[in-house]
């Protein structure tokens, strides 16, 4: 197989190499032996922070984009306007903190609203999807995050490590660097099955000891401490399940990498592009069928030459320089999203059809503009849900329609057996073609 070598030269050469790898004709040979007979549906959840510029991003009228046109902020998506949907009047009813909205973006939970608990979340919709879509893949889901220059404090994501939360409402750490995702997906030196089995066995033994000590301790604790210990053991059980899954796949070789390992220090636009390229390869090879990606915000601004932090930029008010910088950020985000859709359409599924045709791609943020918690932006694309109306701006008749209704609609369209999700009151029928 031809290998592309990515060197730390110029941004233009890097991006050109990143998109070229998807055209390699030998990529289908990377698919695992467990590839199903019919191409499966995939779900991709993309989330940023702090929303978009109020007066230049959001359409003011309902209708098809062919009729109403695209706003300045959405203009980079013009070549995909027949394949995108924007939904207005969705509100995450569980979100109460503008600075921590991403904690509940995919869960809908009121993280501070559980009596007796300072913070309590619930399962995110991507993990609910992974239970069914990811049952037969090496990774039930890929949870991706971003390395931000200040640890993420100014990125509008709150204390969560990613967009994803497990069954018990515990945060799932996200893979932050392109290099770490590369090592996760592809065979690298040292991937010896015997060593992997021994490592997994050692980890399992440590967990057994911890649980044994904990069982003895549990009998001597009060009620509140027992609840905390139960939460801890629930997390341990999740780790055990993960180890069992790794053991089942230890003897199945990972695919070889179609390009050289990326540099360690990639951030911003370059990191987003490479992460999204590897998302596509992971879907093509059926390594996973569900992906969540907490997009970087501050490092993206840095790569654009914007010195303001995302949090400061969200307070643009009547500052013309800040408004212009916010609009530049909007344009860059939509350019990257449009390029991602390009690559999904170029990439081939194992049956020769475009990968785009089997994907449901949601793009949104925890806030609308600045610190507005209501009426979140929701962009939807992909052919994996054939009943979804595309090419339109849909204004829902009820303001504050639960965001959970949107997630439930997408889950059902992906074939997930779910009658409700979080605070949902039903699906969003306006999204579906008659």
**Beta-bridge mates of residue 175:** 144
Query: Are residues 243 and 346 both part of a single domain?
Result: no
Question: Which of 208, 236, 252 is the last residue before a domain boundary?
Answer: 252
**Beta-bridge mates of residue 171:** 165
Question: Which of 229, 252, 275 is the last residue before a domain boundary?
Answer: 252
Query: Are residues 38 and 166 both part of a single domain?
Result: yes
Residue 387 lies in a domain: yes
Residue 149 lies in a domain: yes
N- to C-terminal Cα distance for the chain?
A: 46
Query: Are residues 86 and 200 both part of a single domain?
Result: no
Instruction: Look up the CATH number of the domain holding residue 95.
Output: 3.40.720.10
How far is 150 from 239, CA to CA, in rounded Å? Answer: 29
Of residues 168, 153, 72, 164, the one with CA closest to residue 114: 168
Q: What is the pLDDT of residue 324?
A: 94
User: Is the distance from CB of 62 to CB of 395 less than 8 angstroms?
Assistant: yes
Domain count of the chain?
A: 2
More confident residue, 196 or 281: 281
Query: Are residues 363 and 243 both part of a single domain?
Result: no
Of residues 238, 94, 69, the one with CA closest to residue 166: 238
Q: What is the pLDDT of residue 110?
A: 87
Query: Are residues 141 and 208 both part of a single domain?
Result: no
- Encode pLDDT of 121-156 as tens digits: 899 999 999 999 998 899 999 999 988 876 665 666
Question: Which of 252, 279, 301 is the last residue before a domain boundary?
Answer: 252
- Encode pLDDT of 385-426 as tens digits: 989 999 999 999 999 999 999 999 999 999 999 999 999 999
Report the share of the chain in percent with pLDDT over 70. 74
Query: Are residues 214 and 82 both part of a single domain?
Result: no
More confident residue, 189 or 115: 115
Query: Are residues 248 and 259 both part of a single domain?
Result: no
Query: Are residues 262 and 327 both part of a single domain?
Result: yes
Query: Are residues 198 and 233 both part of a single domain?
Result: yes
Residue 359 lies in a domain: yes
Q: At what angle do helices 193-218 and 223-249 cross, to 10 degrees?
A: 160
373, burial (CB in 10 Å: exposed 0-12, middle 13-18, buried 19+): middle
More confident residue, 25 or 40: 40
DSSP result, 412-431: HHTT---S--TT--S--GGG
Of residues 102, 108, 84, 93, the one with CA closest to residue 47: 102
Residue 58 lies in a domain: yes
Of residues 415, 345, 386, the one with CA closest to residue 130: 415
Query: Are residues 219 and 163 both part of a single domain?
Result: no
Query: Are residues 344 and 202 both part of a single domain?
Result: no
Q: What is the pLDDT of residue 384?
A: 96
Residue 1 lies in a domain: no
Count CB-CB contacts under 10 A for residue 353.
12
Query: Are residues 306 and 353 both part of a single domain?
Result: yes
Classify each residue of 144-173 as buried b or exposed e, where b means 16 or more C-beta atoms within 10 Å of its C-beta.
bbbbbbeebbbbbbbebbbbbbbebbbbbe
Summarize the confidence of residues 308-331 as an average pLDDT. Answer: 90
Name residues whose C-beta falls within 8 Å of residue 68's C-beta, 6 or more positions apart in sequence.
Answer: 59, 61, 62, 393
Q: How much is the pTM?
A: 0.84
User: Is the distance from CB of 364 to CB of 373 less than 8 angstroms?
Assistant: no
Residue 3 lies in a domain: no
Q: Confidence band (pLDDT; 50, 70, 90) for 5?
A: very low
Residue 6 lies in a domain: no
Residue 5 lies in a domain: no
Of residues 347, 327, 366, the one with CA closest to residue 111: 366
- Encode pLDDT of 65-76 as tens digits: 999 999 999 999
Q: What is the pLDDT of residue 170?
A: 85
Residue ranges making up the domain that contains 369: 11-188+255-431
């Amino acid at each position: 197989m031809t290998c592309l070598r990515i060197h730390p030269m110029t941004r233009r050469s890097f991006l050109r190499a990143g998109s070229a790898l998807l055209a390699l004709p030998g990529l289908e040979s990377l698919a695992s032996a467990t590839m199903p007979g019919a191409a499966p549906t995939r779900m991709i959840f993309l989330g940023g922070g702090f929303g978009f510029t109020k007066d230049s991003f959001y359409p003011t009228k309902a209708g098809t984009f062919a009729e109403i046109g695209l706003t300045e902020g959405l203009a980079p998506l013009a070549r995909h306007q027949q394949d995108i949907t924007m939904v207005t009047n969705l509100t995450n009813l569980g979100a109460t903190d503008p600075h921590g909205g991403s904690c509940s973006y995919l869960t809908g939970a009121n993280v501070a609203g559980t009596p007796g608990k300072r913070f309590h979340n619930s399962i995110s919709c991507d993990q609910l999807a992974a239970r069914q879509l990811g049952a037969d893949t090496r990774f039930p889901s890929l949870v991706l995050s971003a390395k931000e220059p200040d640890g993420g404090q100014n990125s509008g994501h709150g204390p969560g490590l990613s967009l994803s939360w497990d069954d018990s409402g515990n945060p799932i750490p996200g893979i932050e660097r392109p290099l770490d995702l590369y090592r996760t997906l592809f065979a690298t030196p040292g991937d010896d099955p015997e060593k992997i089995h021994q490592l997994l066995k050692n980890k399992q033994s440590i967990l057994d000891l911890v649980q044994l000590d904990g069982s003895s301790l549990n009998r001597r604790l009060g009620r509140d401490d027992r609840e905390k210990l139960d939460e801890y053991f629930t997390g341990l059980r999740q780790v055990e399940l993960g180890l069992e899954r790794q053991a089942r796949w230890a003897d199945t070789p990972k695919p070889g990498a179609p390009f050289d390992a990326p540099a360690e220090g990639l951030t911003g636009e370059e990191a987003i592009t490479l992460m999204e390229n590897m998302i596509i390869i992971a879907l093509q090879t059926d390594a996973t069928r569900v992906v969540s990606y907490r997009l970087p915000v501050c490092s993206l601004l840095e790569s654009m030459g914007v010195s303001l932090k995302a949090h400061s930029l969200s307070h643009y008010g009547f500052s013309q320089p800040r408004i212009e910088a916010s609009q530049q950020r909007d344009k860059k985000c939509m350019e990257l999203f449009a390029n991602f859709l390009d690559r999904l359409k170029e990439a081939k599924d194992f049956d020769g059809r475009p990968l785009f045709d089997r994907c449901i791609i949601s793009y949104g943020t925890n806030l609308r503009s600045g610190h507005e918690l209501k009426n979140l932006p929701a962009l939807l694309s992909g052919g994996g849900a054939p009943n979804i109306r595309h090419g339109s701006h849909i204004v829902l008749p009820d303001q504050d329609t639960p965001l959970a209704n949107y997630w439930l609609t997408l889950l059902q369209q992906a074939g997930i057996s779910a009658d409700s999700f979080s605070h949902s009151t039903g699906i969003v029928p306006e999204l579906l073609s008659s």
